[in-house]
Amino acid sequence: MNISTTKFIGRTIYKGIAEGETLVTSMGISFFGGVDPESGIVVERGHELEGKSIAGKVLVFPTGKGSTVGSYTLYRLKHAGKAPAAIVNAECETITAVGCIIAEIPCVDQIPVERLETGMRVLIDGEKGLVEIDHHPNR
């Protein structure tokens, strides 16, 4: 059997291992005001992910934006059971990094996020900075 995976090694922002389905956007995300902390739904008007839930997904986006309160929003999402399983960035800025650390969400950056698409099955190993795409998730 031919096992088909693609691996990217980036930088560990927060350790931990997560596996799940990707939710990908080419737009930055502001967690404060852009994501409802009780539901995990993206509420920012005009955002590519508007109306979609980030809960339990491997959230992939280039970089964060907005208020430093976004870090606490990630913490609130985690405690509401609506946080992403992991976060993958091209460049993780301070707001997202602090949010992942305090909420204990695995996070890796320096990944070519443009190579990921919504619906991919991935493994995130924050210990190694690894993002592994499984091209045959129904094996």
CA quadruple 86, 17, 96, 129: dihedral sign:
negative
Q: Of residues 30, 39, 53, 67, which has the active-site annotation? A: 67
First to last CA, the chain: 10
Distance CA 124, CA 117 (A): 15
Tell me which residue of 32, 43, 107 sits closest to 72, measured CA to CA. Answer: 32
Tell me which residue of 58, 46, 54 sits closest to 80, measured CA to CA. Answer: 54
71: annotated active-site residue = no
> How many Cα atoms are found within 13 Å in the side-chain-facing hemisphere of 40?
18
Q: Please identify every residue annotated as catalytic.
A: 67
